[in-house]
Amino acid sequence: MKIPKVKRPSEITLKRVQSLKGKRGMIVAIEPQTGDWFLGKNVLEALERGRKKCPQSTFYFVRVGYSSAHAHKGGLKRV
């Protein structure tokens, strides 16, 4: 299975998405070619909304108000 490269959206689109008032913590799926974005409570919801309009697209995900969509808060457990 080949994993497609995801183009980063324009800075204008990212700033517009990050400035959404009252949507902090929600996930946004951005279609980088057109700049269209789709809001959801989680990645799957945002992806479903995006796939309805752009079924063949590869999406870029961000969390509103944060620098990334996901965070790893765990660690390795020594055995």
Q: Tens digits of per-residue pLDDT, 13-47?
A: 989 999 988 999 999 999 988 999 999 999 999 99
Give me the long-range contacts of 36-41 (CB less than 8 A, separation at least 24).
Answer: 37/13, 39/64
pLDDT value of position 66:
86
Q: Which domain holds residue 24?
A: 11-63
In a domain, 79, yes or no: no
68 or 12: which leads in pLDDT: 12
pLDDT value of position 72:
67
In a domain, 47, yes or no: yes
In a domain, 72, yes or no: no
In a domain, 77, yes or no: no
Give how far the C-alpha of residue 20 lies from the chain's centroid of Cα atoms, to the nearest Å.
Answer: 14
**What's the number of domains the chain is made of?**
1
In a domain, 5, yes or no: no
51 or 66: which leads in pLDDT: 51
In a domain, 78, yes or no: no
In a domain, 32, yes or no: yes
